[in-house]
A and B are shown apart, each in its own frame.
Chain A
Amino acid sequence: MSTPFSRREILQKSLALGTLVIASPHAPSAMLHALEQNEQCKPTPPNDLGPFYKRLAPEAASLRAPGDPGMPLAVSGRILNTRGEKLSGAVLEVWQTNHVGHYDVEGYRYRAKLIADASGAYKFDSVVPGHYPDRVCQHIHYLVTAPGHKPLVTQLYFATDPVFEGDPDKNFSRDPLIHSRELVRPVTLAGDPKDIIAKVQFELCLERA
């Protein structure tokens, strides 16, 4: 039986060749649980932490500095729990590569801590991340914590990623770390034609502890 490639396996494969492609199942049990409990919100599927999480990221609403190259990006969403309750004060840590796929491990570029507001909403500005050399897809890492809830480690992917060839429903598993289609989010373009910005919405649902 084939299984999804894993955190250690990604490290091992990357040390060897880069990437492989394989179909992958995940999270049906969480979905079933949510339906059984008649809960309002299905828990967001977890996704790999990756090896480049860095503690103590600064609180900032913009990961992008003035003049940074790359496609400007605005990400927003809400933090809820499985009852549909808005988790005001939830803490998000987000980290990503720059526009050419480089993680800053020396400092905190493209890393930030965010606090969900009274309505559970969060937003941040950034650039569309590049392709990390040993991962298939562009992605942004999330760590979300809220009192009384299980920490959520997951990743956001972009439906416009060229890897999906315009069909993320069919091709999302081309990245062996994407176990769930719902982590691949639609991208809309907004703004003046000379100043286009990509916008993504990503709502996150935490399980109660």
Chain B
Amino acid sequence: MRRFFFHLIAVLTLALSALAADSPTLRQTFPLPSGVSTAFTAIAPNGQRVAAACSDAKIRLWDIVSASLQNTLDLKGERPNIVRFSPDGALLAAGSSDGTLRVWDSSGALRYDLKLAAEIDAIAFSPDGTRIAAAPNGLPVEIRELGANKLVASLPATFSGAASLAFSRDGRWFASADTDTEIRIFDGRAFTLHARITDLLLEPLALTFSPDGSRIIAGGADGVITLIETNTGKIVKSLPKQADVVYVLRASPDGKSVAASYFNPDQMSAPGRLLIWDAITGSLRSTVSTTEGGFNGGDYLHDGTLLLTSSSEKELKIWSIR
């Protein structure tokens, strides 16, 4: 209980100071060891912990409010591509370039150790944390029951695999951004195909649900963020096209804004931008830039007034945003 109040007071302090800001303001940094950069980050849904897949084949977990390093998981040479927390924050999954899919509990104990046929491009937990979806490179998406390590469903694209996966928070829907340029929407429990979005010409690289699950937010190589009505599979809005490629997408907790990282397709290692869009009007709210490399992860914190970002810079950052 004491720890809870400590977190609450600290988060509220950060959030209140953020309200006064008109444009993103750097609030806090999480330095990485010398020579180490992140490949991807995930934030626990309660906003208390951040996990970073690091270039030295380690996963680092920080307590966000105290900015203290809590745990380091050594993958012994396997490079983690992607990390995700279960919706209750109790489990952390990491997919590696050698196809290893590992799941730890909050104490850092390894709970599941699976091996897929190819390196893992994307993972997503079902809302109850009992199932995990994984996208092995170039192969069908796999849905697995974690406890029994049982394959529940295999969801092939026309060719190749998927770049991004997501469950809606209520578990009703599951969606995949597939490398054949389609977005596929499935029933989130039976995994029967519900709708195919075939309007995109270029590959969608990022995908997330709005908090109420009514919309899918997707973006990719065409530089356009597309809002899709989940139930019908119809595109209901497209945000202004950018010259750069959309790489990471996050919806704010209130569903009113979308944070999107972009990279320059002609020079992916060039400094990147993160644009915060009004999801209702489609107008640009604010911009955050890196000094080197593109943003590769992050998420909204608390009520959406704080944003954590990771990039190839030598630290994670928390920004105050409007």
Interface residues of A (CB under 8 A from B): 1-9, 11-18, 46, 48-49, 51-56, 101-103, 105, 133-134, 143, 145, 151, 153
Contacts and interface: CB of A to CB of B under 8 A. Distances in A.
A15 B312 contact: yes
B201 interface: yes
B137 interface: yes
A14 to B, nearest CB: 4
Contacts of B266: 101-103, 133
B82 interface: yes
Contacts of A9: 39, 79, 81, 97, 119
Interface string B138-163: 10000000000000000000111001
Contact of A55 (B39, B181, B263, B265): B181
B267 A133 contact: yes
A49 B119 contact: no
Given A9-B79, A52-B221, A53-B202, 4 more contacts: A14-B268, A53-B180, A53-B203, A103-B266
Contact of B81 (A8, A56, A151): A8
Contacts of A17: 269, 293, 312
A11 B268 contact: yes
B37 interface: yes
A55 B205 CA distance: 15
A53 B221 CA distance: 9
A52 to B, nearest CB: 6
A56 B269 CA distance: 29
Given A9-B39, A134-B268, A143 B77 contact: no
Given A3-B79, A5-B97, A49-B179, A15 B121 contact: no
A54 B202 contact: yes
B222 interface: yes
A126 to B, nearest CB: 19
Interface of B: 37, 39-40, 55, 77-79, 81-82, 96-98, 119-122, 137-138, 158-160, 163, 179-181, 200-203, 205, 220-223, 245, 247, 263, 265-269, 272, 293-296, 311-312
Chain A at the B interface: SS class: loop
Contacts of A105: 202, 221-223, 245, 265
Given A1-B98, A105-B202, A6 B160 contact: no
Given A1-B77, A12-B40, A151-B159, A7 B121 contact: yes
Contacts of B202: 52-55, 105
B207 to A, nearest CB: 14
A7 B201 CA distance: 20
Contacts of A15: 247, 263, 268-269, 272, 293-296, 311-312
21 contacts: A3-B96, A4-B119, A8-B97, A8-B119, A14-B268, A15-B296, A16-B37, A16-B296, A16-B312, A48-B137, A51-B221, A52-B221, A52-B265, A55-B180, A55-B181, A55-B201, A55-B202, A102-B266, A133-B267, A133-B269, A134-B267
Q: Which 8 A/B pairs are nearest by Cβ-Cβ distance?
A: A16-B312, A14-B268, A151-B159, A6-B119, A15-B294, A3-B98, A12-B39, A134-B268
Given A51-B203, A53-B179, A53-B181, A12 B81 contact: yes
A134 B269 contact: yes
B160 A153 contact: yes
Contacts of A153: 138, 159-160
A198 to B, nearest CB: 24
Nearest to B37: A16
Nearest to A133: B267
Q: Give the most central of A1, A6, A101: most B CB within 10 Å.
A: A6
A9 B95 CA distance: 11
Contacts of B97: 3-6, 8-9
Q: Give the most central of B96, B97, B247, B296: most A CB within 10 Å.
A: B97
Contacts of A8: 81-82, 97, 119-122, 137, 163
A56 B202 CA distance: 10
Q: Give the most central of A11, A15, A55: most B CB within 10 Å.
A: A15
A49 B295 CA distance: 22
B133 to A, nearest CB: 15
B296 A12 contact: yes
A5 B40 CA distance: 15
Contacts of A1: 77-78, 98
